[in-house]
Amino acid sequence: MINQTEISVRDALAQIVIRKPSVKDGVALADLIQRCPPLDHNSLYCNLLQCSMFADTAVVAYLGSQLVGAVTGFLKPSDPDTLFVWQVAVAPDARGNNLAGAMVRTILKEHPQVRFFETTITAENRASESTFTRLARSLNCKISRRIIFDQTHHFAGHHASEVLWKLGPF
């Protein structure tokens, strides 16, 4: 973990390396997501897929040997100009410095054909709402929102409604 008495978070973020994930990052990704409520915990198998088969549309952020951030996603098969972001995870000690935005921008730089960005956010996830509102401002684009998976109809009351956020065009 980042020892804040020895190194400030801002100094640490200057040392973070953002890169594409590999299958070797799967376990670390699963561990990071465990530390980032309210994110849904995927199976380790899913995290391994995100780090291998979906690596071209994902990034991981390391401070030394510690995974402190990750963004996973994919280009929508029906809309190849749309990046769907599956999950954004930032370790508690690395929050508050727009690491999430930097990771998303890294993916967008690799995919200049992308004009839209989509993700789903539950109402209680204020941190994600703030992140994507800031991202829309920085990309100078609009945000639209609609419930895509309803708590009652799709989740049978076992999960909060998921709201689809669509940013773009940019």
The pTM score is 0.88
Residue 136: partners with Cβ closer than 8 Å, 6 or more residues away = 142, 143, 167
Residue 108, burial from CB neighbour count under 10 angstroms (0-12, 13-18, 19+)? middle
What domains does the chain contain, in order, with CATH numbers? 9-167 (3.40.630.30)
Model confidence pLDDT, tens digit, residues 24-75:
999 999 999 999 988 889 999 999 999 999 999 999 999 999 999 999 999 9
Model confidence pLDDT, tens digit, residues 89-138:
999 999 888 899 999 999 999 999 999 999 999 998 888 899 999 999 99
Cβ pair 76, 82 in contact under 8 A: yes
